[in-house]
Structure 1
């Protein structure tokens, strides 16, 4: 058995173990909630924040890091467009207008940076 085939086998074993682990975690929640008559109110309140937390975890690093370094200044177009989008989201509570305003701001800032 060569070193390369051993490495390939190890990678597949890790993928298999991660898949089984993920499936077991998800199945445990399905089985747990299948046995409960009602979800506890505290847990239900906490679960309402999960989508916002996940979205923030996905978006925030792209806004504050530029080329692998922390960029919190005026030169970070994504941060400025994100800040404008956050204001639009707060004022309008509309996902469509938030996306439109954020993308328009980002494209405008990129266009201005190229033109200067």
Structure 2
């Protein structure tokens, strides 16, 4: 009888990859906690580096779509930036979504 893949079957290699990634993620997260909790005082350089992480992550999430995305993405990001300077996060998300929908369906960009 031939093995057939169904919608609920998974490749063993994919399952192994998921398990290894989960273990690696767990150990990197717990490792940082154990390392920082073992210190009585965080050195100023390490504290500065840790404070820079959110900006670095945000930059990596935003830069690539802005550079390589279409005009619909660029317009949505510009609108979200402007709205984000004045209003809270949920308003920013709605404005960005509305801008990308207007650019795609109203102006025909990015279709």
**Aligned partners of 2:15 and 2:76: how far apart in 1?**
41
User: Could you tell me the TM-score, scaled by structure 2's length?
Assistant: 0.62
Q: Which runs of 4+ in 1 moved over 4 A?
A: none
- Aligned to 1:38, what secondary structure does the other structure show? coil
Q: CA deviation at 1:15?
A: 2.8
- Aligned to 1:48, what secondary structure does the other structure show? helix
**Aligned partners of 2:14 and 2:95: how far apart in 1?**
43
RMSD, aligned α-carbons: 3.3
- Structure 2 residue runs of 5 or longer lacking an equivalent are 1-10
- Structure 1 residue runs of 5 or longer lacking an equivalent are 1-7
Aligned length: 102
Equivalent runs, 1:1-116 vs 2, <5 Å:
8-66=11-69, 71=70, 76-90=71-85, 92=86, 94-114=88-108
User: Could you tell me the TM-score, scaled by structure 1's length?
Assistant: 0.61
* Structure with larger RCO (C-alpha < 8 A, sep 6+): 2
